[in-house]
Amino acid sequence: MTKTSERKQQVLQILHDNESEYISGQKLSDQLKVSRTTIWKYVKSLREQGYLIDSSSKLGYRLIKAPDILSPEEIKRDLETDVLGSEVIYYEQVESTNNLAEVKARKGAIEGTIIIAKEQVGGKGRLGREYFCPSEGVWFSVILRPDLKPTFASQLNFVAAVALARTIEQLTNLQPGIKWPNDILINQRKVSGILTEMNAEIDRVNYVILGLGINLNIEKAEFPEELIRKATSVKEEFGKEVSKLDFFLSLLHELEKEYVKLQEDGFGSVLQGWRDYNITLGKEVKVNNVREVLKGQAIDVDDEGALLIKLEDGTVERVIAGDVTLNTEYN
């Protein structure tokens, strides 16, 4: 975090701590050891972000209302994690947060660095598909440097899926389900996308970019026609808007908890949580893994996160990656 960002965050924190009263520009200036003109610039910048700040030449500044935005200042103020959010970088609009995170990871960005965008115009999903990412959603990428062998990096999909499902459940009492490996569905329609991209050597992971996109407060009418039957949002299912900031902070807390659990207790502990939400095992499924289409019963997940499918001839096929369709979707 730059010195300017740090000081602007300090100004915001002081205003938050004293919402019922005015704080003079001189007092802010003295506390931060900067000029009153500099304080005015910080306040101006906060106003441009959507903060409603009253000012009086005699009384100073008072925070009237904070916007529901995922700014570094708001996130850092209430963050309850040790690693995730160690650095937070926010953009109004980007092509893809995963692309930006990749660049920063190659340059040595510390683990837990988060890239957030209000809107993505070139968001990407699995297999290079485009992803619908309007401003009412939550779009971000996290840089992770796990102590994992490359063959086990896919376990991070399960970490993200469990954290996301649990967050939705805790904040809304909705009943999300996880379709292998990490699609979150509510009432059989998708509410999120998770994309992991890895940089690794033969025996170790250098870093993983974990990208998450959540249809949080998107109206049904906003979805493209081709997605209306397949996708939904938390707001549509819950019946009202959910605070972006509350959702994001809760998600980071759950994500770090599952990430620590993976590295300290192993994949089995994460998989146990995944099973609580899974809607794939025991079901008839169709899997398209580019090379072929398989049909059978999903019977289990192995230690590397691969899906085990029992085919009609009784043989068991191990699926590392592919699009899974439940029989309720293709029958």
Asked if residue 294 lies in contact with residue 311, where contact means CB atoms within 8 angstroms, the answer is: yes
The answer on whether 167 is annotated among ligand-binding residues is: no
The answer on whether 99 is annotated among ligand-binding residues is: no
Q: Mind giving me the DSSP string for 218-282?
A: --GGGS-GGGTTTB--HHHHHSS---HHHHHHHHHHHHHHHHHHHHHH-HHHHHHHHHHHBS-TT
Q: What's the rounded Cα separation, in Å, for the pair 165 and 169?
A: 6
Identify the helix (H) or strand (E) that includes residue 286.
Answer: strand 284-288
Q: What's the rounded Cα separation, in Å, for the pair 147 and 193?
A: 24
Asked if residue 291 lies in contact with residue 323, where contact means CB atoms within 8 angstroms, the answer is: no
Which residue is it, tokens 């998770």? Answer: 194
What's at 288, amino acid-wise?
N
What tokens does 72 get?
């570094």
Closest to 194 (Cα-Cα) out of 274, 74, 93: 274
Asked if residue 94 lies in contact with residue 117, where contact means CB atoms within 8 angstroms, the answer is: yes
The answer on whether 120 is annotated among ligand-binding residues is: yes
Identify the helix (H) or strand (E) that includes residue 102.
Answer: helix 97-106
Identify the helix (H) or strand (E) that includes residue 5.
Answer: helix 3-17
What tokens does 207 get?
């870093």
The answer on whether 96 is annotated among ligand-binding residues is: yes
Between strands 284-288 and 192-200, the pairing is unpaired
The answer on whether 328 is annotated among ligand-binding residues is: no
Note the residue count of the chain: 331
User: Binding site, residues?
Assistant: 96-98, 120, 190
User: Binding site for biotin, residues?
Assistant: 96-98, 120, 190
